[in-house]
Structure 1
Amino acid sequence: MSNSSSITEFLLLAFADTRELQLVHFWLFLGIYLAALLGNSLIITDIACDLHLHTPVYFFLLNLSLLDLASISITLPKAMANSLWDTGSISYPECAAQVFCFLFFNSAGYALLTVMAYDRYVAICKPLHYETLLGTRACVHMAAAAWGTGFLNALLHTDLGTAIVDYLKPLSFFSPTLDLVVSFLYSVVPPALNPLVYSMRNQELKDTLKKLILSAVSQQQ
């Protein structure tokens, strides 16, 4: 007989042991998720509807909001379901898909932030060459490169790289609670706060958003 075994599911660490705290976590995650959905959806709608915002910097910002929406939708719904139904398991295919999508969207987001930094560099340091260096075709190519980089990075590391990292991690740094806190910080906080960071500091975006809201209110009246 061959000595082999197959993995069908994984057990997830719970955020709390008591039922009351699990429900608290559910409502907390739901609030964060709805805030992220609202903030990113407003930015996407704002940029898509206003022709004055059809510029490279807002094109990249729209892509970033799409990535944030997709990224937070990969992790939080499952965490909310586990907290609400008091379950702690995930199937092997579901886990692999979640890891791949999470790495894909987050890696693409990091690449897109690099592209956005390049956009600001050209706007500040080479304003006369801005239209040449960041034309429509160039912007589309850079955005596509960011998405493609995320896909390739996710494909490489999912094929479960994650297991290598877990086995090579020093035992002295092992802490389930710390792992939960860190994973929450880098998977949930950025997608929820990015809309606030990029909208509250941008007067043009805020003005356009106010116009859209006032237009919607006037149409209802």
Structure 2
Amino acid sequence: MTNSTTLAEFVLLGFSDVLELRASHTMLFLLIYLATLTGNLLIVTVTTFDQGLHTPMYFFLRNLSILDMCYISVTVPKACVVFLMDNGVISIAGCAAQIFLVLVFALTELLFLTVMARDRYVAICLPLHYPAIMSPRVCVQMTLASILSAVVYSGFHTGNTFRLSFCQSNVVHQFFCDIPSLLKLSCSDTFSNEIAIFVSAVVTGGSCFAFITVSYIHIFSKVLRFPVKDRGKAFSTCIPHILVMTVFVSSATAVYLKPTSSSFTIQDMITSVFYSIVPPFLNPIIYSFRNKQIMHGVKKIMRTFYLGRR
């Protein structure tokens, strides 16, 4: 890697050079980070220890929460250092690791959301076949396949990025290392990289989005035949999923499918927040804290902990 570049390190940037604003950004990111860890850790704890939540739906939700804690931990701690200490220096290896992990967790999140759409489709449209189609073995296989696919995808794009030469500025106009920002700094021909990103993003993201869309078309057509009193529960599990998916896919698309140019805008950094930080923060809120079974599990664990201490 060091042979392919004349740079020894990159420099990440914050949203502002003003000390007061940097302190505010640090506090905001830190609060979001702590809230995300707390919410997702609570979900993992409840879905692990409550035997009534050992179902495919909560299996994927538990894995999604673990993933979200890892995902946000890749970018936010370093970003807080960049904001507060005004020290954005990151080594070439550290930058490569950050890109690799962000891509792994982002794609795994997308695939998990797709698998969760399949789970909702089978549960609502094929309830009699649900135990067979979504058996524990199948759930584990889909989880491992999602992770393995993300690792291969991320490894390819990370390696393809760092084969380039970076002999211009080492200032990355972003609060974490990402491929679009690095392509703007390369003095190599990046056309093949842009084509590879575009094709893989369209194929992967488009396939997942199309699968989810078709799944929810079938789900909603089925739900509309339910009695009015039964529609609320079905919609309450589906609409949050659509909301998360829309925010995640639209923001990632805006960053990775935007034509590469030499210009840097604050809008690019803000857009990156919506696919790297917002989904892990929102998932516990819209998936679980509105879920009566999760809240019942939380109360049960808190009651057990309280009685145990007495």
Which region of structure 1 is more displaced relative to structure 2, 62-71 or 145-154?
145-154
Q: Residue by residue, what CA displacement relative to the aligned partner does 1:8-45 show, whole Å, maximum 9, x if unpaired?
A: 11121221111111111111111000000000000000
Amino acid at match of 1:17: D
Structure 1: runs of 5+ lacking an equivalent: none
TM superposition outliers: structure 1 runs of 4+ over 6 Å: none
Which region of structure 1 is more displaced relative to structure 2, 64-73 or 142-151?
142-151
| Residue 265 of structure 2 is aligned to residue 176 of structure 1 | yes
Residue 112 (structure 1) aligns with: 112
Amino acid at match of 1:116: M
Residue 156 (structure 1) aligns with: 156
Given that residues 67 and 106 in structure 1 are in contact (C-alpha distance below 8 angstroms), is that contact kept between their aligned partners in structure 2?
no
| Residue 192 of structure 2 is aligned to residue 102 of structure 1 | no
| Residue 283 of structure 2 is aligned to residue 194 of structure 1 | yes
Given that residues 81 and 88 in structure 2 are in contact (C-alpha distance below 8 angstroms), is that contact kept between their aligned partners in structure 1?
no
1:8-157 alignment runs, 5 A limit: 8-157=8-157
Give 1:131 shift: 0.8
Partner Cα distance (2:19, 2:134) in 1: 53
Give 1:189 shift: 0.6
TM-score when scaled to structure 2? 0.66
Instruction: State the secondary structure of the residue aligned to 1:16.
Output: coil
- CA change 1:216–1:169 in 2 (3 A) is same
Tell me how many residue pairs correspond in the alignment: 216
Which region of structure 1 is more displaced relative to structure 2, 151-160 or 4-13?
4-13
Given that residues 111 and 149 in structure 1 are in contact (C-alpha distance below 8 angstroms), is that contact kept between their aligned partners in structure 2?
no
Give 1:175 shift: 3.6
Given that residues 41 and 65 in structure 1 are in contact (C-alpha distance below 8 angstroms), is that contact kept between their aligned partners in structure 2?
yes
Q: Residue by residue, what CA displacement relative to the aligned partner does 1:190-209 show, whole Å, maximum 9, x if unpaired?
A: 10110111112311111111
Residue 300 (structure 2) aligns with: 211
Partner Cα distance (2:5, 2:42) in 1: 48
Taking only aligned residues, the RMSD between alpha carbons, in angstroms, comes to 1.8
Partner Cα distance (1:109, 1:58) in 2: 15
Structure 2: runs of 5+ lacking an equivalent: 163-178, 184-192, 195-255
Give 1:170 shift: 4.8
Which region of structure 1 is more displaced relative to structure 2, 71-80 or 126-135?
126-135
Instruction: State the secondary structure of the residue aligned to 2:6.
Output: coil
TM-score when scaled to structure 1? 0.92
Given that residues 44 and 66 in structure 2 are in contact (C-alpha distance below 8 angstroms), is that contact kept between their aligned partners in structure 1?
yes
Instruction: State the secondary structure of the residue aligned to 1:11.
Output: strand
- CA change 1:50–1:72 in 2 (3 A) is same
Give 1:171 shift: 3.6
Partner Cα distance (2:121, 2:114) in 1: 11
Instruction: State the secondary structure of the residue aligned to 2:87.
Output: coil
Amino acid at match of 2:293: E
Instruction: State the secondary structure of the residue aligned to 1:90.
Output: strand
Given that residues 72 and 276 in structure 2 are in contact (C-alpha distance below 8 angstroms), is that contact kept between their aligned partners in structure 1?
yes
Identity of aligned residues (%): 44
Partner Cα distance (2:12, 2:111) in 1: 29
Give 1:177 shift: 0.4
Q: Residue by residue, what CA displacement relative to the aligned partner does 1:103-130 show, whole Å, maximum 9, x if unpaired?
A: 0011011001111100111111111111
